[in-house]
Structure 1
Amino acid sequence: MPFTSKKEILLQKAEAVYQKMLEDHTGNWGMDINHWDWVPGVGVISILEYYEQRGKKEILQHLTDWANQNLHKAENQKVINSMAPFAIFPVLYNETGDKKWLQTAEKIGQWIVNEAPRTREGALEHTVTEDASFPEQVWADTIFMAVLFLARLSRLTGNTSYAQEALQQLKLHLALLQDEQTGVLFHGWNCMAGDHMSAARWTRANAWIAVGTPMILQELEKIVTPDEEIIDRYNILMKALLNYQQENGLWNTVMDQVDFYPETSGSAGIAAGLLKAWRIGLLDENMIEPVKKTVLAVLDKIDADGTVAGVSGGTPVMPSIEAYNHIPCYPSQYGQGLTLILLAEALR
């Protein structure tokens, strides 16, 4: 495997990142894992990735305890962006046999398929728990926050309607967000205006789909065959992303802006996507050398206590490209999480 010589440092850093995520961060929106929204959702999804790589039962127990302690908080958070934590429920059911996880997952799956707001094209509208509305807007985030869950639910239940919905959403998001000139993705699409708003080629938006796509397709293997358009667009995306990787191995927070700051979480997500896609045969081994550069750069961003630095704050579609460069950086569960996914993947 590509990172055999780095195994010990990868294990050490991954464990430090994971342990930092479990600490009591009450009152710290970015790092507090004990609430229900997309931020802790990315956290628990990544911890599940770490569990599947390490196989340590205490990691699974942390996830089970988290789900038992926080599930009641989901009752008033039924929006697309807060679906992320449910992505661990199919695995919790498989591992524990507790029907609560299956029943809850099926209930949420039905809500997404039958009730969640959609745009005129049929894409899931990006709804959030915050006091903000983005009518008829499509954001790249949705693929990781909701569509991954649908794919896992399909694999668990054998219900192909979830699989078909997952593929349709993936196809729609790629088609609506992909820049036909460069091949990379814009942050969002406004269906009413028919434009990409500020038209920012935001790195973390690309990361959600870069890493989410192979995770989804792996779940759907032997259930449904993905449309060739999905495979083609994803390949174009991943090869195009390499055009914007900086010499330091990272991507800037808006990737085509050479004077913007480098951003760790998006870079980790893109590199994890490259590795996952290579592992399941979507991409060739030419992707490995750029990933090695990113892994080394990300390792340098992990402090001794496991805190991942250089992670931009929660970011809606900003009114201008320049505004993205003013988003402050601070530690977060999603920064820790995307980094942990990369490290877990590099350890495979």
Structure 2
Amino acid sequence: MTKDHAGEWGMDIDQWDWVPGVGVIATLEYGEAVGRPEAMSYLERWIARNKEKAGQAKVINAIAPFAIFPALYRLTGDESYREEAVRAAEWLVSEAPRTREEAFEHTVTENVAFAEQVWADTVFMAVLFLARTAAMVGDEVYAKEAQRQVLIHLRLLEDTDSGVLFHGWNCGSRDHMSAARWTRANAWIAAGVPLILKETEPLIPAPGELRERYARLMEALVRFQQDDGLWSTVMDRPNYYRETSGSAGIAYGLLKAMDGGLIPYERRFKEAADRALQAISPFIADDGTVGGVSGGTPVMESVEAYDRVPIYPTLYGQGLVLMLLAESIRQEGDERD
């Protein structure tokens, strides 16, 4: 992530959007999990280089990089991190577009609108930030809204037949559009919810329904893992290509959910995460580049279109794999201790 990829959409770290946002969130996770202070120094320098870009667009996807601000405020005491985080949180709770169900409407930095659409991605890109800001300032209103958004997304996106999530929901047409059980959509919520509840539950308890729905999701996801340890890019289409970023996010979610008590610590969950990590490892090149990552994916016009999304390296692919590796190392260290 530190190489110069200027102008390359998937790997250009010096932008203010969800792609580098996931990259810096993962760098923070790595630094905290394995005790690497140089990761925090890198993030401070990254913000110094890019903070002028932060106000260019008030959209859900552009919130993602702010998720590192609360940790840097605690580390440095620099009030600017706190002030910027609160400013972005106030925009989210007071001004961000919402659907008729009160979900944050998914909005992007590109010149395109997804009116009245709810996407799973929003939970990781914006709600995680809101939860971390709630913990930073001790604000129960932020914490309650973060938990409420998770629950709304779980309700609207759940496929009651399989237990997993659809990519998106259209509030106007009252349907899941192409109705794709897209693996990375599920990964954003699998990975995001344990992090969100870790921040908010010291302030307010999570609704039982939220915990039950999330546990049901994780149970269902394990059933769609393929024999090789990965998930197909659309999880109920085993003939579609295997996808590393979504697989890493689900495996990370399994580890974090067990650690946080959201699902029981059972061999089947641990083995599923371990199998995914083992299967992902061959996709990591000598220079650290992660292969097998599907490109940027809006809700596609058909399920079949997901299998045609091109594969190329991206910062969110790098990030989700880094989070899985770091969490696996951290938990192994805890077991040895």
Q: TM-score, normalised to structure 1's length?
A: 0.93
Kindly indicate whether residue 247 of structure 2 is the aligned counterpart of residue 299 of structure 1. Answer: no
Which residue, out of 264, 277, 290, partners 2:272?
A: 290
Which amino acid in 2 is paired with 1:199? Answer: A
**Residue 13 of structure 1: aligned partner:** none
**Residue 302 of structure 2: aligned partner:** 320
Higher mean C-alpha deviation, range 106-115 or range 67-76 = 67-76
Partner of 2:226: helix, strand, or coil?
Answer: coil
Which amino acid in 1 is paired with 2:159? Answer: D
Partner of 1:44: helix, strand, or coil?
Answer: helix
Partner of 2:54: helix, strand, or coil?
Answer: helix
Offset at 1:221? Answer: 2.7
**Residue 85 of structure 2: aligned partner:** 105
8 Å Cα contact 1:36-1:77 kept in structure 2: no
Structure 1 residues 236-272: Cα deviation after superposition (integer angstroms, max 9, x where no partner): 1000011110001000000000110000000000000
Structure 1 residues 124-181: Cα deviation after superposition (integer angstroms, max 9, x where no partner): 0000001110000000000000000010001000011100100110000000001011
Structure 1 residues 192-226: Cα deviation after superposition (integer angstroms, max 9, x where no partner): 00000000000000000000000101111321100
**Residue 100 of structure 2: aligned partner:** 120
Which amino acid in 2 is paired with 1:143? Answer: V
8 Å Cα contact 1:269-1:342 kept in structure 2: yes
Which residue, out of 181, 185, 191, partners 1:205?
A: 185
8 Å Cα contact 1:37-1:77 kept in structure 2: no
Higher mean C-alpha deviation, range 170-179 or range 221-230 = 221-230
Offset at 1:282? Answer: 1.1
Among all aligned residue pairs of Structure 1 and Structure 2, give the percentage whose two residues are the same amino acid.
58
Structure 1 residues 262-321: Cα deviation after superposition (integer angstroms, max 9, x where no partner): 000000000000000001111122210111100101111101110000000000000000
Higher mean C-alpha deviation, range 282-291 or range 317-326 = 282-291
Kindly indicate whether residue 130 of structure 2 is the aligned counterpart of residue 150 of structure 1. Answer: yes
**Residue 335 of structure 2: aligned partner:** none
Question: Separation in 2 of the partners of 1:216 and 1:136?
Answer: 24
Kindly indicate whether residue 120 of structure 2 is the aligned counterpart of residue 140 of structure 1. Answer: yes
Partner of 2:220: helix, strand, or coil?
Answer: helix
**Residue 5 of structure 1: aligned partner:** none
What residue ranges of structure 2 are gaps of 5+ in the alignment?
A: 331-337
What residue ranges of structure 1 are gaps of 5+ in the alignment?
A: 1-20
Which residue, out of 290, 310, 331, partners 2:313?
A: 331
**Residue 334 of structure 2: aligned partner:** none
Kindly indicate whether residue 328 of structure 2 is the aligned counterpart of residue 346 of structure 1. Answer: yes
Question: Separation in 2 of the partners of 1:56 and 1:300?
Answer: 25
Which amino acid in 2 is paired with 1:314? Answer: G
Structure 1 residues 56-84: Cα deviation after superposition (integer angstroms, max 9, x where no partner): 22111000000111011011121011100
Kindly indicate whether residue 224 of structure 2 is the aligned counterpart of residue 224 of structure 1. Answer: no
8 Å Cα contact 2:118-2:170 kept in structure 1: yes
Moved over 2 A (4+): none
Partner of 1:310: helix, strand, or coil?
Answer: coil
Question: Separation in 2 of the partners of 1:54 and 1:202?
Answer: 31
Kindly indicate whether residue 237 of structure 2 is the aligned counterpart of residue 262 of structure 1. Answer: no
8 Å Cα contact 1:268-1:298 kept in structure 2: yes
8 Å Cα contact 1:43-1:337 kept in structure 2: yes
8 Å Cα contact 2:230-2:247 kept in structure 1: yes
Partner of 2:67: helix, strand, or coil?
Answer: helix
Question: Separation in 1 of the partners of 2:149 and 2:265?
Answer: 28
Kindly indicate whether residue 146 of structure 2 is the aligned counterpart of residue 166 of structure 1. Answer: yes
Partner of 1:249: helix, strand, or coil?
Answer: coil
8 Å Cα contact 2:168-2:299 kept in structure 1: yes
Partner of 2:176: helix, strand, or coil?
Answer: coil
Which amino acid in 2 is paired with 1:94? Answer: R
8 Å Cα contact 1:205-1:266 kept in structure 2: yes
8 Å Cα contact 1:244-1:255 kept in structure 2: yes
Higher mean C-alpha deviation, range 284-293 or range 332-341 = 284-293
RMSD across aligned positions (CA): 0.6
Question: Separation in 2 of the partners of 1:189 and 1:282?
Answer: 25
Partner of 1:278: helix, strand, or coil?
Answer: helix
**Residue 278 of structure 1: aligned partner:** 258
Offset at 1:54? Answer: 2.1
Which residue, out of 296, 309, 323, partners 2:291?
A: 309
Q: TM-score, normalised to structure 2's length?
A: 0.97
**Residue 32 of structure 1: aligned partner:** 12
Question: Separation in 2 of the partners of 1:266 and 1:248?
Answer: 14
**Residue 12 of structure 1: aligned partner:** none
Structure 1 residues 19-76: Cα deviation after superposition (integer angstroms, max 9, x where no partner): xx11111111100100100000000000000000122221110000001110110111
Partner of 1:22: helix, strand, or coil?
Answer: coil
Relative contact order, CA 8 A, sep 6+: which one is greater?
Answer: 1
